[in-house]
Amino acid sequence: MAAPPQRRTWTANDYALRLDPQMLGFIDATNAHYPPDTIDASVMAQRAIYDRMCTAFRAVRPADVLVEDVLPPSSHPIPLRQYRRHDVVTQVAAVLYLHGGGLVVGGLDSHDDVCAEICARTGFRVTAADYRLLPEHSYADACDDALAALRWLLDESGVPVVVVGDSAGGLLAAMAVQAMRGEARQAAGQVLIYPGLGGADDLSSRIEHAEAPMLTRAEVKAYDALRGVTAPTPLGQPDFSGLPPTVVIPAECDPLCDDAVVYDDAIRQAGGRSVCLIQQGWVHGGLRARHAADVARRAFDVAVDAIEALGHGRWPY
């Protein structure tokens, strides 16, 4: 598995000079709602702060999207929220969305607008899963919930399913498709947005962007420790063959950037289809800037285009 080349560490001044004013404004606005020291607060306080931040940035749902909260009638019930465009009669594909938040914060409301906009733009039905969070539950519980949601959606929808996750949701998405590797039914593809995939702490981006805005190397290590440093991760798997078509969309200014680079390389080395589309000038958590910064808008366009292509069975890369 090839490792990215070593690069120098960025300083705070580098970000101030090299990120565009729109992204810098978004970072300042985020920090006003979610201060950088939030990770030191209690879990309940972190969730309250995160929820307030999500509310402050939440966009209005597109008017043509209908939303319904459901609970699968199965032996593994998981709260779900489904989005469908009212003018789409015949579904072509479905999307399972797994939210970010370090496996600690977030839920059905935190990424509600993102899911609604994916539905509006692709016409696909989108299902968001409210997986169990740490520390009340285990990392294994979260992985089990993601896998159960994927299996249920594959059974229930009857159409190709694209699995999408951002940040820790990308970790769960990759674990779910890995768990189904070799089975007769598979996801049509996976789209992972600035995912944390269990990369080594000495990867270049962990060092170069150790003090990146929005997510630092120390915060990554704290979340890794909470998950369990010996817990299975996508990059810790022995075999990357047989995975569905994969699009990884990391942010350049993110200590997790090279997790995506290494994962993409591992899939391609195993003979699979994968592409890594690094978004220059973007930061972790930058999905919320899609209506405020051109860099984030373009990154969201890249993600939506990937979801649409995989849902239709295309590989335009």
Q: Is 284 a catalytic residue?
A: yes
Question: Distance (Å, rounded) from C-alpha 283 to C-alpha 38?
Answer: 18
> Among 167, 204, 205, 274, which one carries the catalytic annotation?
167
Catalytic residue among 113, 130, 166, 254: 254
Opening angle at CA 166, ends 250 and 89, nearest 5: 120
Name the pairing type of β-strands 274-276 and 246-249: parallel
- Strands in 154-306 per DSSP E: 161-166, 189-193, 246-249, 251-253, 274-276, 279-283
Letter for the amino acid at 128? Answer: A
CA 98/CA 130 separation, integer angstroms? 8
Of 186, 205, 185, 187, which is closest to residue 195 (Cα–Cα)?
205
Known catalytic residue at 254? yes
Report the distance separating Cα 20 and Cα 170, nearest Å: 26
The torsion angle over the Cα atoms of residues 23, 28, 29 and 33, rounded to 10 degrees, is 140
204 is known as an active-site residue:
no
How far is 223 from 70, CA to CA, in rounded Å? 30
**Catalytic residue set:** 167, 254, 284
